A and B are shown apart, each in its own frame.
Chain A
């Protein structure tokens, strides 16, 4: 168990809908990262937060947004969902953003039908 909690584990929804994925980092970790992994593909970095502030942005679509709350949990919001958004979404956390090991949650599997 990595100590990073993601909910829900599975999500099935329809095109055009909006969903929210939730992540609780390891105790003491200030930085949160979101990744998208399509079937049998690599990890696509979406966005990073550190202590509530956006730190880095990757290939995140405009339809997607995220935030990190004062209690350090994070949410990833996906809107106007398309079939191609079906993927595994991972959250990871680290103590600090710089050069630190990332601990991954078990992921949320999103299926858009």
Chain B
């Protein structure tokens, strides 16, 4: 079946370091969405990418959609404690939203 693989499962960073999570789909996607789930919270929509090669920025967050529309990444520059949580990608293909397993961002004390 269709899959969206997301890596890594966890990433431990020092505050101020960068963080990146990657998603790869087995099929071409119509679009890809990114969500953030804070500890104890629910997933919240961050952004949607639609065009091949699209890059969008939200302050310290940079989202990219690959040229083949099969992969995507989220990069956070200079992480802060407010960035803690799990980041999910979700790709739309064949009338279904397929979720990645999520990457948990943990800030080292």
Contact surface of A with B, Cβ cutoff 8 Å? 2, 40, 42-43, 45, 56, 90, 92, 97-99, 101-107
Which of A56, A104, A107 has a CB less than 8 Å from the CB of B96? Answer: A56
Q: Which of A43, A105, A106 has its CB near the most chain B CB atoms (within 10 A)?
A: A43
Interface residues of B in 29-57 (CB under 8 A from A): 30-31, 33, 41-45, 48
Tell me the number of A-to-B contacts counted with CB atoms below 8 Å: 40
Contact surface of B with A, Cβ cutoff 8 Å? 30-31, 33, 41-45, 48, 88, 90, 92, 95-97, 99-102, 104
Closest residue of chain A to B95, judged by CB? Answer: A98
CB pair B42 A97 closer than 8 Å? no
Q: Is chain A's binding surface mostly helix, strand, loop or mixed?
A: loop
CB pair A101 B95 closer than 8 Å? no
Contact A56/B101 with A43-B43, A102-B45 known, Cβ cut-off 8 Å: no
CB pair A101 B44 closer than 8 Å? no
Instruction: List 20 additional contacts besides A42-B100, A99-B92, A104-B42; criterion CB under 8 Å.
Output: A2-B42, A40-B104, A42-B102, A43-B99, A43-B102, A45-B99, A90-B42, A92-B43, A98-B95, A99-B30, A101-B33, A101-B45, A102-B33, A102-B43, A102-B45, A102-B90, A103-B45, A104-B43, A105-B42, A107-B42
Expressed in whole angstroms, the Cα–Cα distance for A99 and B48 within the complex equals 10
Question: What are 18 sample pairs from A and B whose C-beta atoms fall under 8 A apart?
Answer: A42-B100, A43-B43, A43-B88, A43-B99, A45-B97, A45-B99, A90-B43, A92-B43, A99-B30, A99-B92, A101-B33, A101-B45, A102-B45, A102-B90, A102-B97, A103-B45, A104-B43, A105-B42
- List residues of chain A with CB within 8 A of the CB of B43: 43, 90, 92, 102, 104
CB pair A106 B95 closer than 8 Å? no
A77 to chain B, nearest CB (A): 21
- List residues of chain A with CB within 8 A of the CB of B95: 56, 97-98
